Amino acid sequence: MLKAIVIAALVLGVAAVTTGCTASYRAKQAEAAFPPSGQFVEVDGRRVHYVQQGSGPDVILLHGAGGNLRDYTFALIDQLSDRYRVTAFDRPGLASAGW
């Protein structure tokens, strides 16, 4: 019985390490395929990704928990940037790969 538990623990450990390595590799591939479209600024020691376009009064776009700033780059920023300086931020920890 103890031998079966040890073998199961080893198999689960190897599977966890393999999964972690695969996830890291895929994340790096995604970062290379889809590089950040904007710039970064440091806030309280953390890098924050943002995109800024236009001029005029400021409009800040901040996405919800299920999104990222690319949600705004499909059309909204272009529609607003002819009248406003639009800044769209990625919330730390919720950005897309590499952002």
Q: How many domains does the chain have?
A: 2
pTM exceeds 0.85: no
Whether residues 47 and 65 share a domain: the answer is yes
Q: Find the domain containing 76 and state its range.
A: 35-99
Whether residues 18 and 40 share a domain: the answer is no
Whether residues 15 and 39 share a domain: the answer is no
Residues in a beta bridge with 35: none
Whether residues 85 and 48 share a domain: the answer is yes
Among candidate residues 83, 48, 43, the one with its CA nearest the CA of residue 68: 48
Whether residues 26 and 39 share a domain: the answer is no
Tell me the pLDDT of the chain (99 aa) as tens digits. 888 898 988 999 888 888 888 888 888 888 788 777 788 888 888 888 888 999 999 999 888 777 777 777 778 888 999 999 999 888 766 554 443
| CB-based contacts of 18-25 (< 8 A; 24+ apart in sequence) | none
